[in-house]
Amino acid sequence: MTRSALSALLSHWLRNPVQLVMLLAGLALATALWSGVQALNAEARAAYATAEGLLSDGGTSQLEHPRGQIDEAHFVQFRRAGWQVSPVLEGRVEIGQARVTVLGIEPLTAPAGAGPALAATDLQAFFNGLGYAHPQTLREIGTSDLRLQASEAIPMGTILLDIGTAQSVLERPGQITRLTVGNVQPQDRAALQALAPDMRLLPPGEAPELSGLTDSFHLNLTAFGLLAFAVGLFIVHSAVGLAFEQRRVMFRTLRALGVPLRHLTACLAAELLVFAVLAGSAGLVLGYVLASLLLPDVALTLRGLYGAPVPGSLQFNPLWAASGLGMTLAGTALAGGQALWRLWHLPLLAPAQPRAWAIASDRGMRVQAVAAVLLALLALGLGQFGSGLMMGFALLAATLLAAALAVPLFLSAILRHATTFARAPVAQWFWADSRQNLPRLSLALMALMLALSANIGVGTMVASFRATFIDWLDLRLVAEVNVIPRSQAEAQDLQVFLARHAQAALPMQRIDAQLAGQQAQIYAMMDHATFRDNWPLISPVDDVWDRLAAGDGILVNEQLYRRAGLQSGVSFLDLPEIGAQQVLGAYPDYGNPLAQAVVTLDQFVAAYPQTPIRQFAVRTETPQELIAVLQDEFGLPSSQITDQAQAKSLSMAIFERTFVITRALNILTLMVAAIALFAALVTLSGMRLAQLAPLWALGLTVRQLAGLELLRALVLGGLTLLLALPVGLALAQILLSVINVQAFGWRLPMQVFPADWARLAAWAMLAVLIAAALPAVRLWRRGAAQLLRVFAHER
């Protein structure tokens, strides 16, 4: 009997293949977006784990100096005092065509877990300068003076060298960045206080880690994945719900024939399970493809933004597949649970009257209204009193959910108004009928609203950021030519030469340090009009530039300013070797994960002598001539000289990459929403014949009826779009002034781009039109015969 019941139930899908496709497509898409994002996150995290295993030496303690560098003599001093330590030198440098992290280690003392996969015969070669890098890094570097060997075990963008080689490549002879402290130490060793009182012992895990820096990026991705998944579940819910409604009669018949309720429910549950597994598997394949396509951009973003090594290729992980499928099953259970519950409580001979259903949903609407108001209040409260990144996302979620719940209420109110204004009978019917069918479409419309407002919000955020970033780049990259000396001797010569041949040559010097407990860099700034005229400052003190030039205080970047809760003219910051300095103001520093402080050149040179000059920002009226002279006089290759335009286009390229994935996910979410609407309209159209037939009998043509169906979809879509606009702008405001500040440390002014909205509106209406077209065309094609049959039907 179960078999006959099952075949009867399944025959529904044979008769409604479009509905089946919708259900499966919805599930598959939801799974694909969610699992794709998860795959990206997992791949990036695995890469960090490798990098940290290598860079921070697998959970060992570290000895560091607040200045960020240590004389290598300390290594021997500590070893001979009984400390099992190993030196590490780390720095960024241009090699060949790429900018890479050079990691210098001492393989004989390195704790297990750090160091290269050296074959026995390679140790001498390693001592003599052989380096190891990931094959992809090797490709990016192209040709260079270094002897490099490929090794998959090295993180992307990193070159592993012997400590001695690293010192010469980084031009830091006799210097190391830190000492890693082995986990096994002998019985007696000298106290740290007695050895080097100014050094600090950082316990494992407190050393700066990539995963900390990039957490916010991954949280962003996860939030997007979850949103897409939720939108996908709307499709599943509406498809399952409608399939249930349509099979109501069949259930009744089956029950009357003696199929036990338990069997029937089990059959439906099994049906859902099979669909979930089938669609989930397809979704996993799709998600994998999606992740593979997006990973190169994500990798570039992470490397550009954080210097985080992420490979450009994806590896398959069974755990990922299992968790993705689990998510699909859970989601299906959630979306289909209501249908199963209703079946369980279905009276044997319940009537199936749409109007009664609609009246019943009025009560539901009231509950929904209360929920929407409560969520809106929660969002307000969070916005007022909350703090932290998780709070930011909670605020985001509450706002979106409140708005989504408000969609049917809002539409219902508008439609009621429209009904009262309508005079012609057809118009009155149109509005009343739209309102009656609203409950069935409301989930799809809520999904559409979510997707549209997310699109507007994220789009506005990206565009605002872009506009701010371009303005800022113009001000920041004011130097006409940038010159990178190849050695310190050349730097000296260049300084002398440029003093005569250019209007100004502003040397760029910096050291690594810890500021307010954060990984930071201290820069030297020469007092010059270039900075006075061009650097935009956030809440500076009066006469900020004069006071800075007088050594009266320092400037910090916005990230440090906000994270450490500093206040201009009030807060002091402790700088190594320099001491407490007043904060005079903050400057925007987009795209930089590190904290930064600026001191005068004199202060810098006095505190940190022997710091190499990394670059000259050169002011000149004749940049091309100067470049030519520099190339002639110093034989500088073009890689050492960049002009303004080059620098700008490079920065913009990194910026554009950063948001490729955001844009891609945005578009995909909108697609999912369009499919949700399509699914709802297609299934609804099948049920509406009974409502349309009387109108046809009253004299409306089939063509008119189809046109009205189309018009209604457009009206509802358009109204949803109208509602999505303010919600999207609120979302953008939250992203710009809450999420960005928490995640990256900078606040951006919001700018609006109505042209983008118009484009989105056009696309959204097109999606609605396409979604509504098929049911309308079907109605038209089936024509009068079908409508006529309604009157013969038992209903």
Partner 1 sequence: MNADGKARTLIAVLTGVVMAMLWLSPAAAQGFAGLGTTAEGFAIPSRDRRLQFPEDHGAHPEYRIEWWYLTATLTGQDGQDYGVQWTLFRSALAPYEDDGWNSPQVWMGHAGLTTATRHFSAERFGRGGVGQAGVTTDPFKAWIDEWHMTSQSHPEEDALDRLDVHAQGEDFAFSLEFTAQGPLVFQGDEGYSVKSPTGQASHYYSQPFYTVSGVLSLPDGPVTVSGQGWLDREWSSQPLADDQAGWDWVSLSFEDGHRMMGFQLRGTEIFTAGTWITPEGDATPLADGAVQFKPLQHTSIKGRDVPTHWQIDWPDGALSITTEPLNPHAWMDLSINYWEGPLRFSGTHSGRGYLEMTGY
For Cα atoms 381, 385, 389, give the angle at the middle one, nearest 5 degrees.
100
Q: Which is nearer to partner 1, 184 or 580 (CB)?
A: 184
Contacts 24+ apart (CB under 8 A), 372-375: 372/402, 372/403, 372/405, 372/406, 372/409, 373/402, 375/399, 375/401, 375/402, 375/405
Q: In whole angstroms, how large is the CA radius of gyration of the chain?
A: 33
CA distance 766 to 671: 11
Q: Does the footprint of partner 1 cover residue 191 (CB under 8 A)?
A: no
Residue whose CB is less far from partner 1, 313 or 338: 313
| Residue 97 within binding range of partner 1, rule CB under 8 A | no
**How far apart (Å, rounded) are the C-alpha atoms in residues 261 and 665?**
42
* Angle, helices 2-15/261-306, rounded to nearest 10 degrees: 50
**Interaxial angle between packed helices 261-306 and 17-55, expressed in degrees from 0 to 180 and rounded to the nearest 10:** 40
620 binds partner 1 (CB under 8 A): no
Binding residue (CB under 8 A) for partner 1 from 59, 113, 296, 707? 113
Question: Is there binding between residue 492 and partner 1 (CB under 8 A)?
Answer: no
Locus of tokens 């909670």: 394
Q: What angle do CA 440, 446, 450 make, to 5 degrees?
A: 160
Instruction: Give the interface segment with partner 1, choosing from 24-32, 117-125, 222-230, 741-749 (CB under 8 A).
Output: 117-125
Closest CA to 560 of 734, 391, 744: 744
Task: Yes or no: say if 396 and 461 are a contact pair by the CB < 8 Å rule.
Answer: no
Residue number with CB closer to partner 1 (46 or 537):
46
Task: Determine, following the binding rule CB under 8 A, whether residue 192 of this chain makes contact with partner 1.
Answer: no
- Of 105-113, 224-232, 409-417, 533-541, which part binds partner 1 (CB under 8 A)? 105-113
Beta carbon nearer to partner 1, 81 or 329: 81
Q: Does 499 bind partner 1 (CB under 8 A)?
A: no
Subset of 283-312 contacting partner 1 (CB under 8 A): 311
One of 116, 331, 459, 717 touching partner 1 (CB under 8 A): 116
**What is the b/e burial string over 493-517, where b = at least 16 CB atoms within 10 angstroms of the residue's CB?**
ebeebbeebbebbbbbbbbbbbbbe
Closer CB to partner 1, 116 or 775, in the complex:
116
CB of 199 to partner 1, least distance (A): 18
Pairing label, strands 554-557, 579-587: parallel
- Does 248 contact partner 1 by CB under 8 A? no
Query: How many whole angstroms separate alpha carbon 154 and alpha carbon 151?
Result: 6
Q: Does 54 bind partner 1 (CB under 8 A)?
A: yes
Measured CA to CA, the distance from residue 234 to residue 244 in angstroms comes to 15
715/720 Cα distance (integer angstroms): 9
Rounded to the nearest whole angstrom, what is the least distance from the CB of residue 185 to partner 1 in the complex?
7
Q: Of the two residues 288 and 590, which places its CB atom closer to partner 1 in the complex?
A: 288
123 binds partner 1 (CB under 8 A): yes
Q: Is 186 in the site for partner 1 (CB under 8 A)?
A: yes
Is 163 a binding residue for partner 1 by CB under 8 A? The answer is yes
Beta bridge partners of 307: none
Q: Which is nearer to partner 1, 159 or 520 (CB)?
A: 159
310 to 329, contacts with partner 1 by CB under 8 A? 311, 315, 317
Q: Does 204 bind partner 1 (CB under 8 A)?
A: no
Among 135, 144, 171, 189, binds partner 1 (CB under 8 A): 189
Residues 107, 135, 354, 551: which binds partner 1 (CB under 8 A)? 107
Select the span of 53-61, 334-342, 529-537, 634-642 touching partner 1 (CB under 8 A). Answer: 53-61
Nearer to partner 1, 164 or 386 (CB): 164
Dihedral pair phi/psi, residue 95, rounded to 5°: -130, 125
Letter for the amino acid at 256?
Answer: A
* Beta sheet of 554-557, edge-to-edge order: 510-515, 518-525, 595-600, 554-557, 579-587, 572-575
- Least distance CB 293 / partner 1 (angstroms): 20
- How many residues make contact with partner 1 (CB under 8 A)? 48
- The amino acid at 313: S
Piece in contact with partner 1 (CB under 8 A), picked from 179-187, 492-500, 628-636, 695-703: 179-187
Q: How far apart are CA 369 and CA 375, in angstroms?
A: 10
In angstroms, the first-to-last Cα distance of the chain is: 27
Among 1, 7, 15, 112, binds partner 1 (CB under 8 A): 112
Alpha helix segments (H runs only) across 257-388: 261-306, 318-344, 354-385
User: Binders of partner 1 among 55-84, rule CB under 8 A?
Assistant: 58, 72, 75-76, 79-82, 84
Q: Does 794 bind partner 1 (CB under 8 A)?
A: no
**Minimum gap (Å) between residue 657 Cβ and partner 1:** 22
Which one, of 156, 146, 150, lies nearest residue 132 by Cα?
Answer: 150
CB-nearer residue toward partner 1: 175 or 596: 175
Q: Choose between 120 and 349: whose C-beta lies nearer to partner 1.
A: 120
Any contact of residue 162 with partner 1 (CB under 8 A)?
A: yes
In the complex with partner 1, which residue's Cβ is closer, 50 or 509? 50
718 scored as a contact of partner 1 (CB under 8 A): no
Residue 794 CB-density burial (10 A; 0-12 exposed, 13-18 middle, 19+ buried): exposed
Taking CB under 8 A as the criterion, the residue among 35, 38, 50, 464 binding partner 1 is 50
Nearer to partner 1, 79 or 648 (CB): 79
Decide if 476 contacts 534 (C-beta within 8 A): yes
Select from 44-52, 419-427, 568-576, 692-700 the region that touches partner 1 (CB under 8 A): 44-52
- By beta-carbon proximity to partner 1, the closer residue of 81 and 266 is 81
Residue 604 contacts residue 524 (beta carbons within 8 Å) = yes
Say if strands 518-525 and 641-643 run parallel, antiparallel, or are unpaired. unpaired
CB of 131 to partner 1, least distance (A): 14
Q: Which amino acid is at 508?
A: M
CB of 764 to partner 1, least distance (A): 41
Beta bridge partners of 265: none
**Dist. CA 163–CA 26, nearest whole Å:** 55
Task: Say if CB 33 and CB 232 are below 8 A apart.
Answer: yes
- Looking at beta carbons only, is 129 or 707 nearer to partner 1? 129
Q: What residues line the site for partner 1 (CB under 8 A)? A: 46-47, 49-50, 53-54, 58, 72, 75-76, 79-82, 84, 106-110, 112-120, 123-124, 127, 152-153, 162-165, 167, 184-189, 311, 315, 317
